Amino acid sequence: MKSTTGSIELNYRIDGEPGLPWLIFSNSVATDMNLWTEQVTPLMDRFQILRYDQRGHGLSDAPEGRYTIDILSEDLLRLMDSLNIVSARLVGISMGAMTVLTFAKQHPDRTDKLVVCDCGPSASPASAQQWLERIDKVLAGGMDAIVEETVGRWFTQATLASMNPVVEKVSSMIKATPVPGFVGSAYALSTFDLRADLETLKVPTLFIAGEQDAVIGGTRSLSDTVPNSEFKSISGAGHLCNLENPHDFLSAIMEFL
């Protein structure tokens, strides 16, 4: 289904019975709501689950221009308002984690609990330059130009060597991402900074990172800053830990939620 939020339409899906507590999943850059498929079925008897394609991804609109994490947070607020969701548990990974953490800081009264997966506290000069280089590659050669390097960065060598089907699943999502959506989001990732007001966040928060993810140190540092938070690492997993080790990921979030 689609909801008009401000000037764009966001694609979304709801699973689970009405009346259950709301649980919302937010996807990373260059993926879509199907990133969370394995988590939905085991949680449907406990929550009413909302998945959505962030702007520029999946079947949501992909306006041209530079996005920011604040814009993505506003999209989530407008989507919740359109569906009459007063408050929810929020789970996000990578760019989705930045989105839900920003949302929780801006709207703590709308956030029951928070799960922040695989993201650091801010862009660095080096990471900003890398995102600008990826933008140049995509503008020159389309999304195919960054598929191999992206899955190589996101997954462990063991997963890549085993020909795990999740790699092809993610590769397909990367290829299907609209170029304007990737470019707009890459600008957001080149400039993001989550550090303001972390010490005042009172929402119960779980920080999660794959033990082989390059940003695990940054995720742990966020947990060290946020009161009433805890940190868990997911073994045998890299950046998309919910796909590489879905069993341990599900156990971690189910216990917390």
Rounded to 5 degrees, what are φ and ψ at 12?
-145, 165
Angstrom distances, CA of residue 217 to CA of 61, 80, 123, 179: 34, 32, 14, 30
Which CATH number among 1.10.1040.10, 1.25.40.10, 3.40.109.10, 3.40.50.1820 corresponds to the domain 2-256?
3.40.50.1820
The model's pLDDT over 93-148, given as tens digits with 9 standing for 90+, comes to 999 999 999 999 999 999 999 999 999 999 999 999 999 999 999 999 999 999 99
Both tokens of residue 10?
């966001």
pLDDT number for residue 163? 87
Q: Where are the domains of the chain?
A: 2-256
What is the reported pLDDT for 93? 98
Phi, psi of 208 (to 5 degrees): -130, 140
Q: What's the confidence (pLDDT) of residue 14?
A: 98
CB atoms within 10 A of CB 246: 17
Q: Assess whether pLDDT exceeds 90 at residue 4.
A: no
Q: What is the rounded CA–CA span in Å between residue 90 and residue 25?
A: 6
pLDDT at 5: 78
pLDDT tens digit sequence for 101-115: 999 999 999 999 999
pLDDT reported for residue 250: 98
Q: What is the pLDDT of residues 27-50, one digit of tens each?
A: 999 999 999 999 999 999 999 999
Q: For the segment 181-207, what is each residue's pLDDT rounded down to a tens digit?
A: 999 999 999 999 999 999 999 999 999
pLDDT digits 0-9 by tens, 57-90: 999 999 999 999 999 999 999 999 999 999 999 9
pLDDT of 6 higher than 90: no
Residue 25 phi, psi (nearest 5)? -110, 135
